[in-house]
Amino acid sequence: MVAMEEMLHLGKAPLVGVVLAVVAVAVATVYFLSTKKPKACLDPENWKSFKLVKRTQLSHNVASFRFALPTPTSVLGLPIGQHISCQGKDAEGQEVIKPYTPTTLDSDVGYFELVIKMYPVGRMSHHFRELQEGEYMAVKGPKGRFKYQPNQVRAFGMLAGGSGITPMFQVTRAILENTNDHTKIYLIYGNVTYEDILLKDELDSLEKNYPDRFKVYHVLNQPPEGWTGGVGFVSKEMIQAHCPAPASDIQILRCGPPPMNKAMASHLDALGYTKEMQFQF
């Protein structure tokens, strides 16, 4: 009887070892899969199609478009401050390609979003006006000259106009949501009317949640009664008052309509910001 019990005991030992080995491999596999960086969906050389899953009208001429990625854990793979090219058809059925910056980051897994202002005669605006949920859009990227590493500057000044807010918003979100990034951001955002301000709720939320790191100053050409922000066009005086002064550890980013970009470059030059301190999206 004792001999039989010893044989059973000896037989269990190898089995227990096998079970432990299998469990160890399973745990290691789960850890590897959970820590493995998701593969980027973008291709810089080839167009890839993404399905529009949600369209939300934000105003009479602005809408947000949410596109699904291949899986719920997929990431777009867009570096901070870079953009994508979108392909569509104009009112004549001709192909049109235009760059856009998503308002989402790679921390927003499974989808990406574009906030689009649709102009009456814009060729790509026509495509977005006609684009319906369930349809696909071709995208290529990433594209862009902007390179960013956390804490590469002490502070950013940002000069945005109209839909030029989208790259600024993307960069701002990436910086503020990174607990290891201590960069401060000072944004001047110009529009014609109050209704033209894109992402206002989101900007207000960021300013409220990060009061020591993010400030936004709105400027309107046609302000409503009781408006307390800036009035007219963005001026040298506004830049002096609301952006960091020229220094080797700051940078001023600008993005807006061509006339605004030209005017801002002239203002920055006159205020002593060197070419190295300026970047235009």
Which residues are identified as catalytic? 83, 100-101, 255
113 within 8 A of 86, measured Cβ to Cβ: no
The size of the chain, in residues, is 281
> Which two three-digit tokens encode residue 82?
């870079």
Q: What are phi and psi of 261, to 5 degrees?
A: -55, -40
> Which two three-digit tokens encode residue 131?
């684009």
Q: What are phi and psi of 21, to 5 degrees?
A: -65, -40
Q: Within a 10 A sphere around the Cβ of 5, how many other Cβ atoms?
A: 9
Asked whether the CA dihedral 211, 281, 218, 244 is positive or negative, the reply is positive
Burial string for 52-85 (b: 16+ CB within 10 Å, else e) reads: beebeeeeebbbbbbbbbeeeebbbbbbbbbbbb
Q: What is the dihedral of CA 202, 203, 205, 207, to 10 degrees?
A: 170
Please enumerate in sequence order all residues whose Cβ is within 8 A of that of 174, keeping only pairs 6 or more positions apart, or say none: 80, 105, 148, 181
> Which two three-digit tokens encode residue 210?
């990060």
Dist CA 124 CA 99 (whole Å): 10
> Which two three-digit tokens encode residue 12?
């269990």
Q: How far is CA 124 from the centre of its chain?
A: 20
130 within 8 A of 104, measured Cβ to Cβ: no
